[in-house]
Amino acid sequence: MRPMKEETRHKNNQELVPVAVKLIKEMGLSGDVTLERLSGGRNNQVFKMMADDQRFLLKSYFVHEDDPRDRLGNEFSFLRYAWDKGIRCIPQPFVADKKQHVALYEFIDGGKLKESDIMEDFIKQAISFVLELNKYKQTYAALNLPSASEACFSIGEHLDCIERRLKRLHEIEPCDSVGRYAHDFVHQQLTPCWMTLKKDILDKLGNSGAAISELIDNNERCISPSDYGFHNSLLEQNGKLRFIDFEYAGWDDPAKMICDFFCQPEVPVSKTFLPLFENEVTQLFDKKDALKKKVSLLFPPYRIKWCCIMLNDFIPEGAARRSYAEKDEAMRRREEQLDKVKSYLSETLN
């Protein structure tokens, strides 16, 4: 792995205190600042910050030369757009320091959901968020939002995105026992499964180059939270969900957003809710039936994409990102992720 271009590894909380003081001064606050590291940040470091008897969330973003995405800029601009439009099921963005790769947000006091917690009311809240985001998609502010990370606007782009992820996994080095198991799993099970699914899609499209490469019209695109699901939400005591983590958000194909919502494995959502979600979200678009057909076509491949995401810890950039967020759990997490992905793929094939 190549060395980091930019140093973002804060050795301890105290190194961030001067940065935090600078941020609250920009907000017109003063006084002592205290930081408490919070667990659960998958890619970044997050802290509960106290200043002038107020709570904030301080987020320190991971930066790596192999991943040029502007995570801070993407998330902060998306939240600014949504907050300015009156959307309140998100954390309020306060201020950011792009040079230091940190930003200050509203601290949300809420709990994480489990699969058994999911009910129709939460599905409706998730739908409402998407509808609200896209109510203003013709405004100047919306049109200036960037494309989502790995945005796909044609069937070919969807397939290429998944294939790129799978290709990166072919670089897994069998340097220890868990690495060997991951290497063999990718080559002997995941790749053959993907090749079968890809052939099936191409056959259904008649191997038509035009059908594969045709871009969807601008009015058939959506503003997507990206990486959308209940794994990126907090439940407040009043029963309302607050959605978090928008580093990858932006303009995208709504079919991708729908597939990701139901394919993400961390807090699985039953496909029994898919008709409700589809019927509501497709009201945003003219080509409703075509969108539903595309979701059906892409659903199995997106299960493969999520298999690849679950194995990110085995590639250098993914391992570095996890290490930045959770330094001491790399080996244990690799073993857990491999077990999960085997089970997940088995469900995909059944």
Residues 247 and 125 in one domain: yes
d(CA 186, CA 180): 10
On whether residue 212 sits in a domain, the answer given is yes
Residues 98 and 234 in one domain: no
Q: Is the pLDDT of residue 107 over 60?
A: yes
The total of structural domains in the chain comes to: 2
Residue 102 pLDDT: 96
- The confidence band for 4, taking pLDDT boundaries of 50, 70 and 90, is very low
Strand intervals (E) in 194-337 = 222-224, 233-235, 241-243, 250-252
- Identify the three-state secondary structure at position 244: coil
The DSSP secondary-structure symbol of 85 reads T
pLDDT digits (tens, 9 = 90+) for 47-57: 999 998 899 99
User: Looking at residues 74-102, what average pLDDT do you find?
Assistant: 97
Residue 277 pLDDT: 98
Would you say 23 and 104 are in contact if contact means Cβ atoms under 8 Å apart? Answer: yes
pLDDT digits (tens, 9 = 90+) for 179-213: 999 999 999 999 999 999 999 999 999 988 899 99
Q: What CATH number did the domain enclosing 182 receive?
A: 3.90.1200
Residues 70 and 155 in one domain: no
CA–CA–CA angle 192, 229, 140 (5° rounding): 110
Residue 41 pLDDT: 65
pLDDT digits (tens, 9 = 90+) for 131-174: 999 999 999 999 999 999 999 999 999 999 999 999 999 999 88
d(CA 50, CA 236): 20
The DSSP secondary-structure symbol of 246 reads -
The DSSP secondary-structure symbol of 243 reads E
| Mean pLDDT computed over every residue of the chain | 91
Q: Is the pLDDT of residue 311 over 50?
A: yes
Residues 143 and 95 in one domain: no
- Going by C-alpha positions, the residue among 306, 295, 274 that lies closest to residue 201 is 295
Strand intervals (E) in the chain = 33-38, 45-51, 54-60, 93-97, 102-106, 222-224, 233-235, 241-243, 250-252
Q: What CATH number did the domain enclosing 94 receive?
A: 3.30.200.20
Q: Is the pLDDT of residue 241 over 90?
A: yes
Q: What is the pTM of this model?
A: 0.90
Residue with tokens 């306060």: 94
